[in-house]
């Protein structure tokens, strides 16, 4: 035996979540069962409903509980710019910067032939369809700065070259607050390539 009945089922189900190993699952399960300050029902209720409630915006692919997401519906956002990201969590990360006031397009991943993800598996047709709106003037490609994200950016920039649009890519360079000495060579090389004129 490991444990009687339901607590073992709880450990098993927690262990199916990403990043939770057997020891963490056990620790979390006992917290759920034993901690007098913890009520597991709200989480249970959310898990029961989440798949029925959460949908993906029919315009941009971001998570929402309605037909379209709050950003696509917001008339105060700049509808001329579309920032292309891999995942909904990238939208949240960019929103936290408060630097960007345009729209988004969530691809649902990045090109990765080794994992069987080609252009057909990403929401690229929906993006191209949005470009028929003559208001759109700039596409900012904000895929991750890794192999898959760069490949996706290259692929997209080629697809978008036939449109009369400004296509940009987020800058690569040294992270703010970082230490030049510890930057990897590729990042440091990009920082040189992308150096800015300070003007005088």
Q: Point out which residues bind a copy of itself (CB under 8 A).
A: 1-7, 9-10, 13-14, 16-20, 24, 26-28, 30-33, 38-51, 53-54, 63-66, 69-70, 87-89, 92, 95-96
Q: In whole angstroms, give the CA distance from residue 190 to residue 184.
A: 10
Tell me whether residue 96 or residue 196 sits nearer to a copy of itself (CB atom).
Answer: 96
Q: Cβ(137)–Cβ(81) under 8 Å?
A: yes
Nearest to 60 by CA among 97, 111, 94: 94
| Region of residue 6 (left: phi > 0; alpha: psi -120 to 50; beta: else) | alpha
Q: In whole angstroms, give the CA distance from residue 122 to residue 84.
A: 12
Minimum CB distance to a copy of itself, residue 31 (Å) = 5
Tell me whether residue 11 or residue 82 sits nearer to a copy of itself (CB atom).
Answer: 11
Q: In whole angstroms, give the CA distance from residue 199 to residue 186.
A: 26
Tell me whether residue 122 or residue 169 sits nearer to a copy of itself (CB atom).
Answer: 122
**Contacts of residue 152, Cβ cutoff 8 Å, sequence gap at least 6:** 86, 107, 110, 111, 122, 141, 143
Tell me whether residue 104 or residue 169 sits nearer to a copy of itself (CB atom).
Answer: 104
Minimum CB distance to a copy of itself, residue 89 (Å) = 6
Minimum CB distance to a copy of itself, residue 160 (Å) = 26
Minimum CB distance to a copy of itself, residue 85 (Å) = 13
Tell me whether residue 92 or residue 186 sits nearer to a copy of itself (CB atom).
Answer: 92
Minimum CB distance to a copy of itself, residue 181 (Å) = 26
What the block records as the tokens of 181 is 């000495």
């Amino acid at each position: 035996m490991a444990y009687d009945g339901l607590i073992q089922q709880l450990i098993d189900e927690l262990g199916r979540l990403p990043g939770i190993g057997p020891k963490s699952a056990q620790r979390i399960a006992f917290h759920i069962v034993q901690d007098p300050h913890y009520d597991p029902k709200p989480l249970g209720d959310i898990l029961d409903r989440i798949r029925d409630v959460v949908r993906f915006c029919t315009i941009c692919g971001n998570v929402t509980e309605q037909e379209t997401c709050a950003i696509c519906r917001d008339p105060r956002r700049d509808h001329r710019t579309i920032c292309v990201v891999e995942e909904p969590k990238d939208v949240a990360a960019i929103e936290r910067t408060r630097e960007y006031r345009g729209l988004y397009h969530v691809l649902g991943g990045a090109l990765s032939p080794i994992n069987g993800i080609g252009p057909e598996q990403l929401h690229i047709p929906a993006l191209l369809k949005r470009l028929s709106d003559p208001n759109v003037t700039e596409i900012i490609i904000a895929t991750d700065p890794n192999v898959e994200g760069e490949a996706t950016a290259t692929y997209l920039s080629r697809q978008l070259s036939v449109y009369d649009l400004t296509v940009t890519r987020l800058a690569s360079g040294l992270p703010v607050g970082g230490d030049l000495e510890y930057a990897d060579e590729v990042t440091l090389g990009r920082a040189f390539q992308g150096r800015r004129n300070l003007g005088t």
